[in-house]
Amino acid sequence: MRDNFLPFSLPLIGNEEIEAVVEALRSGWLTSGPRMKQFETEFCQAVHAPSALALNSCTAGLHLALKVLNIGPGDEVITTPMTFAASVNVIEHTGATPVLVDVEPDTLNLQPDAVEQAITPQTRAIIAVHYAGHPAELIALRAIAEQYNLHLIEDAAHAIGAAFDGQPIGSGENLTAFSFYATKNLTTGEGGMLTGSSELLDRARVLGLHGMNREAWSRYAAGGKWAYDIVEPGFKYNMTDVQAAIGLAQLNRFDRMQARRHEIVQAYNKAFGSHSTFLIPTTRAHVTHAWHLYVLRLRPAELSINRNQFIDEMTARRIGTSVHFIPIHMHSYYRDKYNFHPDDFPVAHTAFQNMLSLPLSPSMSDQDVADVIDAVLDIRQKFARRRIAA
């Protein structure tokens, strides 16, 4: 038994981040400024993106993506029920209608065939969520989008460091939103990035800061001009230089942090992969998995306890876990508005009932990893169903 509680996903923050923040504070420039611009440039280079826009959240990026594509009332946007609510809330915020389709049994990403079957004359876009860091089937989804003249938006909140057919997620011309939330592979505490074509991001940049045609940096820095114009009603979605300072430090050691995530995943796979009690995560051959989450699925026939009880047992052993996610159609707002039932999306619903996310962070020590493995296997041993020979 551990002496202390192991949090589900503790960020790795070191002297580099602390010193970068102190330097930003001492510079006198706290809001969007030179560090934010540098972070945009370096992130853009890291994911081979055409252009990048730093924001205060991935949610802001998804909302701006829909707005710059002029999606609104009367339009439909197809997406997944297996995601955090933000992916679908932004569709509601535009006045468009979210259309949910079920997910693939192995990756829990959108089923391309189900997407195509859901298309109507009102469909304008697809939001593909790269669940847990495993890229969705982009070739199939791009082909569908092209055939039906739809926009493809990528929710890459989990997918920093992921790639599809050797191409980094975020490297395309289509709009892709990343998250730098506290638990993400790269964190700024809160924050996000929108990548895509320069033309689309030029408008997103204006919309993301009140609809102003000039940023504060261009007005208040040495030689700046005070005048500005509001060209359309926008939002307050900009990233601060303090956040960007953390992001730059994280980006500088991102490869090392990812390598540690992969080491932990390998240890988990080795420990759990040979047991019929568990279904370990899938990695298809043509992708690079970002490993934001390690989602372990239980086979209920093998255990005398359910998922919730399994989590309680982990907590009793001082191991933090989580569940990703409660499917969208099971939340009261969406359930009541659209008359959803739990089994409307059976793959997502069944996966939800049997899944838990194990701790996965580069801040974890070898002993932390061993403690997680020991706890999972101990629970399995304690609550395995006893079969009686015929």
The mean pLDDT value for 368-388 works out to 91
Closest among 19, 28, 119, 23 to 77, alpha carbons compared: 119
**Catalytically annotated residues:** 184
Q: Residue 219: what pLDDT?
A: 53
Q: Read off the pLDDT band of 1 (50, 70, 90).
A: confident
Query: Cis omega before residue 254 (within 30°)?
Result: no
Predicted pLDDT at 390: 39
CA 129/CA 133 separation, integer angstroms: 9
Phi-psi region of 96 (alpha: psi -120 to 50; beta: other; left: phi over 0): beta
Q: Which of 13-27, 297-311, 352-366, 374-388 has the lowest mean pLDDT?
A: 374-388
pLDDT exceeding 70 applies to what percent of the chain? 96
Q: Tell me the per-residue pLDDT of 216-259, one tens digit each, with 9 for 90 and over.
A: 555 555 566 778 889 999 999 999 999 999 999 999 999 999 99
Q: pLDDT (tens digit, 9 = 90+) per residue, 66-106? A: 999 999 999 999 999 999 999 999 999 999 999 999 999 99
Domains of the chain and any CATH numbers = 15-252 (3.40.640.10), 254-383 (3.90.1150.10)
Lowest mean pLDDT of 7-11, 210-214, 334-338, name the range. 210-214
Summarised one tens digit per residue, pLDDT across range 37-65 is 999 999 999 999 999 999 999 999 999 99
Indicate whether 334 pLDDT > 50. yes
Is the pLDDT score of 4 beyond 60?
A: yes
Average pLDDT rounded to a whole number, residues 7-16: 96
Q: What sections of 81-137 are H helices per DSSP?
A: 86-94, 112-117
Calculated CA dihedral for residues 291, 293, 299, 300, nearest 10 degrees? 180
